[in-house]
Amino acid sequence: MGKLNGASPMNWLLLTLLLCTLSLNAFGQDVADPFEGANRKSHALNQIIDERFAGPIASGYSHNLSGPLERSLDRFYGNFADVGDAVNGFLQGKPRVFLFSTLRVVINTTIGLGGFLDPASNLSLPNENEDFSQTLAKWGVPRGPYLVIPFLGPSSLRDIFGRAINNRLDPLRYLSPVANRNVLYVSRFVHDRANLLVTEDAIFGDRYLFFRDAYLQRRRYLELDGEINEDPFSDAFEDF
């Protein structure tokens, strides 16, 4: 399967849900989850917080946001992410990713009015999707056990370290005054949560297992740059 260059966060999630739906059992046999008991408690806490606070706020946000404005905000926040894509492309020895992502930041920040427009895509400069956890994987660092972090959600031991570096690479971190930065942090969180509303009806069965396997499959897909050499459905259909 080729890489989905320029795919939106929603497209990535829908792809993950599709893969998870078709190969959940086979994938789950290869999951390192030694802390499942503690993870389930963290997952339950996160679900309560989401149901009582984050979910309703995101629903109201989405209901009152027009389509064009929502797409503009997608591009605006994506422009910040392109900075990390460029740095991690360099660290992973991917000159194409480094060059294209750097050009995207320059073009969209200037001609694209701070990222609200995306002229870079019209110039055939695709959006990449790289982060420091993928860089660690490229360097041979193992994923480690699956973890659910209170208030933050699914992760792994490697992804925890990756997330810490990702935060350092986020241009929002260096915005001042702090009040403006915090407003954008909250706005981005609510915006990202609103993007997930459409997928809620696709979740089935044990929610903990579904979230775990969906998260790990998406991470695996990103680490392979969308080049899935192994057949994720081979075990499920081997008897046929």
Q: What is the mean pLDDT of residues 87-107?
A: 98
- Determine the angle formed by the axes of helices 55-64 and 178-195, rounding to 10 degrees: 90
Residue 19 scores a pLDDT above 60: no
High-pLDDT (> 90) share of the chain, %: 75
What's the mean pLDDT when you consider all of the chain?
A: 87
Q: Determine the pLDDT at residue 7.
A: 44
Q: Are 16 and 217 in contact (CB under 8 A)?
A: yes
Q: Determine the pLDDT at residue 117.
A: 97
pLDDT in tens, 157-213: 999 999 999 999 999 999 999 999 999 999 999 999 999 998 888 888 999 999 999
For Cα atoms 111, 116, 120, give the angle at the middle one, nearest 5 degrees: 50
More confident position, 26 or 185: 185
Q: Are 212 and 46 in contact (CB under 8 A)?
A: no
Q: Determine the pLDDT at residue 31.
A: 79
Residue 138 pLDDT class (50, 70, 90 cuts):
very high
Q: State the Cα–Cα distance between residues 3 and 138, nearest whole angstrom.
A: 17
Q: Determine the pLDDT at residue 198.
A: 86
Other C-beta atoms within 10 Å of 19: how many? 21
Q: State the Cα–Cα distance between residues 89 and 95, nearest whole angstrom.
A: 7
Q: What H or E segment, with its residue span, contains residue 146? A: strand 146-149
Domains in the chain: boundaries: 9-228
Pick from 227, 3, 2, 1: nearest CA to 127: 3
Q: Determine the pLDDT at residue 89.
A: 98
Q: State the Cα–Cα distance between residues 100 and 86, nearest whole angstrom.
A: 8
pLDDT in tens, 214-227: 999 999 999 998 87
